[in-house]
Amino acid sequence: MLLQLIPYLACGCIIFFCYVVFQYSSSGCDLDNAIQTGDVNIAHCRDHYYKALNLSASGRKNCTKIIEGDLEEVRLTLLENFHIKKRKVMTNDTEYIKLTKDCTAFKKMKKYVLFSMSNEERNYPIAFSMVIHNDIEMFERLLRSIYAPQNIYCVHVDRKSPDTFHQAVRAIASCFDNVFVASKLESVVYASWSRVQADINCMEDLLNSTVEWKYLINTCGADFPLKTNAEIVTALKSLREKNSMESEAPPAHKKARWEYHFEVKDNIARTDVRKGPPPLNVPIYSGNAYVVLTREFVKSLFDLDFARDFMNWAKDTYSPDEFLWASLHRVPWIPGSFPQHRKYDTSDLIALARLVKWGGHEGDIKNGAPYSECTGKHRRDVCVYGSGDLHWLLQQHHLFANKFDPQVDDHVIQCLEEHLRFKTFYGNNM
């Protein structure tokens, strides 16, 4: 009789064991409670938290196939962009102002990750400068994609932007202790010093914050990250207190940008007045506006007489953001700098800061082009990425890429959001 009961007893034990495992795996994983108490057991609750915070792309597209470069999936996705004009902007300025009246509900609805994913990230805060002027939805998605509670974020809003945009940005920032609007705002004129000043205003505010951040990364509203916060921390640590940016000997056609005095009104215009040489006659290098800077480099901008003199000299030049950082980066006494020897020249494709497809360099990689043709559209000779660019983008080492626009191709942004959120929790590809 006892032998006949053994199978039933064994089955009952298995059921009981499974029940206990299920109960244990489900206990203590209340996301709202974990955020309030700070008792976040990621190792135990990872699956539960990811289920609550995943950012699955909408529609029929298969982001995994797009990321893998599946040509048929990319083709079908790009075809959908012909109907992009029918896409409704998901949330406008006024709607964000309304949504953020209840910050707790807003952050939950938008699925912000409100806890540090690891001790390594918690102990390595990063500062972000975000210079924006329009598209509140894209700004908020960028913020969400790079948000972590240990980091700090300064947002510079162009003074010329509509009042409702300013209000919406401030409303979003008010929902986070570590996000704020710059204390001084500039009226930004394309290719003028005001674009640099916007970042400098944020740099000063960030230095005055209580967060002991390690590196500063500047961004704009058309950027999107290619790496998770954990990957960014790893990359920054690998720099060993060096800056990372494009910095090369300038082409001849760019030299007039700093050899002549420029005047700024509604736009910027060159005069016939020649400028004198820069302070100490330091060599000028070519680069771009987006950089990865050590905290000590940023401090030197305000502490060193030379840095202040150099910036004052650059204020009446054309597009100073495309040579200022690159030139300071090669001055021997500036923290985190590289030597001036040509062997230390660094192209944008080698630097970490920003990945850009320039229209003039696109072509057949087999015939020597640095990258293939843009599958989105071009704006000022820069590729606004399409879904067909995503496979290439995610093979690169850069921290961010530029440009993205949901009105050109929202699929590529959605797939990046889905991909990065998955990697944030599981650390590998989808």
Is 242 part of any domain? no
Task: Tell me the two tokens of residue 17.
Answer: 């064991």
Is 199 part of any domain? no
Q: Which domain holds residue 30?
A: 8-52
pLDDT tier, 88 (very low <50, low <70, confident <90, very high otherwise)? low
Round to whole Å and give the CA distance between 377 and 359.
10
pLDDT of residue 2: 46
Is 296 part of any domain? yes
pLDDT exceeds 70 at position 26: no
Tell which of 343, 378, 395 closes a domain.
Answer: 343
Rounded mean pLDDT, 128-143: 98
For 205-248, the pLDDT digits (tens) are 999 999 999 999 999 999 999 999 999 999 999 999 999 999 99
For 264-314, the pLDDT digits (tens) are 999 999 999 999 999 999 999 999 999 999 999 999 999 999 999 999 999
pLDDT exceeds 50 at position 17: no
How do beta strands 260-264 and 268-274 pair?
antiparallel
Task: Tell me the two tokens of residue 98.
Answer: 């309304």
Is 72 annotated in the active site? no
Is 22 part of any domain? yes
Output the pTM of the full model.
0.92
Tell which of 309, 325, 343 closes a domain.
Answer: 343
For 354-402, the pLDDT digits (tens) are 999 999 999 999 999 999 999 999 999 999 999 999 999 999 999 999 9
Tell which of 281, 315, 343 closes a domain.
Answer: 343
Task: Tell me the two tokens of residue 380.
Answer: 């000022």
Is 258 part of any domain? yes
Is 337 part of any domain? yes
Ordered DSSP codes for 149-169: TTSEEEEEE-TTS-HHHHHHH
pLDDT exceeds 70 at position 83: no
Q: Per the structure, how many domains does the chain have?
A: 2
How do beta strands 126-132 and 215-220 pair?
parallel
Is 87 part of any domain? no
Is 117 part of any domain? no
Ordered DSSP codes for 306-347: HHHHHHHHHTTSSSGGGTHHHHHTT-TTSTT---SSGGG-B-
Identified catalytic residue from 73, 121, 322, 418 = 322
